[in-house]
Amino acid sequence: MVEPATIPTVSLRQLLSREGRRDPYPHYTELHRHGPVCRLAGDEFRFDIVVHGFEAANKVMRDPVFRVMDADYPDRREAAWRDHPALRTLIASIFFTDGPDHLRVRRLFSQVFTPRRIAALEPAVIRIIEARLDRLAALGSGGEPVDFMAEFALPIPADVIGELLGVPEADRPWFPDRVRSFGAILDLGSGMWRFLQAADKAATELSGYFTELVARRRVEPRDDLISALVKAQTDGAPLGDDELVANLLTMFNAGFVTTTHLIGNGLTLLLDHPELRAELLAEPDRAPAYIEEILRYEPPTHFSIRWATEDTEIAGVPVPANSRMLVMFGAANRDPSHFPEPDRFDPSRVDTQQLAFGGGLHYCLGAALSRLEGQLALPMVFRRFPNLAVAGEPGPRDKLMLRGYDSLPVAVT
């Protein structure tokens, strides 16, 4: 056990500055100099401890002593959270539940979110990608810049998760603005609370949409995940309508925003490394290794939050009960004690384990689908457009949660 007097205390103010958000990696390097776990100065951003070493972060994600910020925790501190539809929706979903409730709902979703169903989606994913490549070609045929995010990286996973859930194609363009508003409250820093009113409005509209869609699927079932879950309810599965809608909403949001940034971040990494891009095209079977390294090097989500339910320790550092912990995936994925030369993008790494999808009971349900989309999309882009290049200043990557470009102008000819 580390003596309390020797536990390093750090500040995250520079990390959460405008410059730090745009390039967090020098700050992660500095955190690693202090060991895998540190105390935070004062009551900084309402957290007590930051966990940034790979093994320490992996332990926290898998140890049931550490829980997500479920309803028990905010009820002790922020009773007013129930006044906000966005917060009620989040905390009703499996992203923010633990224990029996989490296992009950996750088990139901896992029964319909199966490898067979995901594998069966591959032809649809290829069809969706090819249609988007045709659109990029048409929009950029005269050499005009095209926004890769708006025309490719965002609509592909939106269409794929829409196919899986059963969201009609004509409805999908309605979602992105509301999803962005809903997701804005997930980032770090007290300033994020200024987005709560817009998030509440988005949550209300999204919940209303999924409530109506569930009602339609009860009358007209189809071969989709919503219909399968509605049938499970009819057969006696313990899943209330509010739980179903909250989980459909959050799954749809998470299912395309994170994959959007996987594709966008991956594109710029491969443009910056033409020799690796050529290698991927020459050896397409290596696409899974490339996706794992993209997820390690530039993950779409950089943190998660946990609290300790009892006195415990992490990496020898005492953690009192009720401590609030910031678990930094982005830093853990660059831990030099786990990854040799962590700041080098290297798809040939032997150890490809990374924490972009979390771990333990809260490991991302859609991880296999996200990987499939990335493994198909990036090689198809470069086969179709071997001379694709960035054609303007990308929109800044200035978030740590849902980290990626808002816009990315490219020339395809």
Whether residue 307 has pLDDT greater than 90: yes
pLDDT value, residue 77: 64
C-beta of residue 127 within 8 angstroms of C-beta of residue 174: no
pLDDT value, residue 390: 97
Q: What is the DSSP string of 84-111?
A: -HHHHHHHHSGGG--HHHHHHHHHHHHH
- In this structure, is the dihedral angle defined by the CA atoms of residues 203, 208, 213 and 214, taken in order, positive or negative? positive
Mean pLDDT, residues 391-402 taken together: 91
Mean pLDDT, residues 4-12 taken together: 82
Look over the chain and give the mean of its residue pLDDT values, rounded to a whole number. 92
Read off the pLDDT band of 82 (50, 70, 90). Answer: confident
Whether residue 68 has pLDDT greater than 70: yes
C-beta of residue 296 within 8 angstroms of C-beta of residue 222: no
Q: To the nearest whole percent, how much of the chain has pLDDT over 70?
A: 95
Q: What is the CATH number of the domain that holds 182?
A: 1.10.630.10
Whether residue 70 has pLDDT greater than 80: no
C-beta of residue 188 within 8 angstroms of C-beta of residue 303: yes
Give residue 171's domain range: 4-411
Which tops the pLDDT comparison, 4 or 189? Answer: 189
- Beta-bridge partners for 326: 50, 305
Domain count, the chain: 1
pLDDT tens string 87-142: 899 988 999 898 888 999 998 888 767 888 888 889 999 999 999 999 999 999 99
Whether residue 170 has pLDDT greater than 90: yes
Q: Which residue has the tokens 């194609």?
A: 169
Task: Write the CB contacts of 71 (distance below 8 Å, at least 6 apart in sequence).
Answer: 91, 96, 97
Q: To the nearest whole percent, how much of the chain has pLDDT over 90?
A: 72
Nearest alpha-carbon partner for 57 in 360, 289, 343: 360
pLDDT value, residue 74: 67
The whole-angstrom separation of Cα 354 and Cα 305 is: 17
pLDDT value, residue 133: 98
